[in-house]
């Protein structure tokens, strides 16, 4: 059975520069993405009726940002699938946000980051997964202990966003 989920790529302009909202998922025992950098979003529930409604609900729950009120849907990126969950189809919705809204952290979200797209640097980075380490392609923002590493499904969605926006 195919599972569905949706994520929001939320863009705001700060001093002429496109910033994208990323979240760090809180530690959770049964969450394979706990501690990872991601876009806000989550799994479809029948009461949502549509994946877009799922995205709006999840973003409000996770960050306090009301996309119905403050977001403008720009476009939808191609469906993505995590390599560790091939039955999960993730629908990435891209929104603009004109208001300067501060996202909140909560139970599911440990931290929120507005990251300027042009400040991301793509690199090969060694990631420790469980007891193993492996070399993966990732985007990195910041340096040293303040580094934010974007890899896996989120990186692949970000690649599509950058390509769609003309390589910015």
Give yes or no for residue 135 having a pLDDT over 90.
no
**How do the residues of the chain divide into helix, strand and coil, expressed in percent and rounded to 5?**
25, 45, 35
The answer to whether the CB of 24 falls within 8 A of the CB of 107 is no
Strands 41-43 and 71-76: unpaired
Q: How confident is the model at residue 57 (pLDDT cuts 50, 70, 90)?
A: very high
Taking residue 117's Cβ as centre, other Cβ atoms within 10 Å add up to 17
Tokens of 90: 């993730």
Cα separation of 10 and 109, whole Å? 16
Tokens of 117: 């797209």
Residues 59-71, mean pLDDT to the nearest whole number: 96
Tell me the whole-structure pTM to 2 decimals.
0.90
Residues 128-154, mean pLDDT to the nearest whole number: 79
Give yes or no for residue 130 having a pLDDT over 80.
no
The answer to whether the CB of 58 falls within 8 A of the CB of 50 is no
- Predicted pLDDT of residue 31: 61
Tokens of 22: 């990323």
Q: In which element (H, E) is residue 121 found?
A: strand 121-129
* CA 5 to chain centroid: 12
Tokens of 118: 């042009």
As separate numbers, helices (DSSP H) first and strands (DSSP E) second, the chain gives 3, 10
Residues 31-54, mean pLDDT to the nearest whole number: 88
List, in order of start, the domains of the chain with CATH numbers.
3-118 (3.90.79.10)
């Amino acid at each position: 059975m195919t599972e569905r989920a949706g994520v929001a790529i939320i863009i705001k302009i700060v001093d002429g520069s496109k910033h994208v909202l990323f979240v760090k998922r809180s530690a959770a025992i049964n969450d394979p993405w706990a501690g990872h950098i991601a876009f806000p979003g989550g799994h479809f529930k029948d009461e949502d009726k549509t994946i877009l409604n799922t995205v709006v609900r999840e973003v409000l729950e996770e960050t306090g940002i009301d996309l119905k009120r403050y977001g403008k849907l720009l476009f939808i990126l191609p469906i993505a699938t995590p390599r560790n969950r091939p039955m999960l189809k993730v629908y990435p919705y891209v929104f603009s946000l004109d208001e300067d809204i501060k996202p909140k952290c909560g139970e599911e979200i440990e931290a929120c980051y507005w990251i300027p797209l042009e400040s991301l640097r793509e690199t090969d980075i060694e990631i420790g997964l469980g007891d193993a380490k492996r070399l993966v392609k990732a985007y990195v923002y910041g340096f040293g202990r303040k580094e934010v590493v974007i890899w896996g499904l989120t990186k692949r969605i970000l690649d599509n966003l950058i390509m769609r926006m003309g390589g910015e």
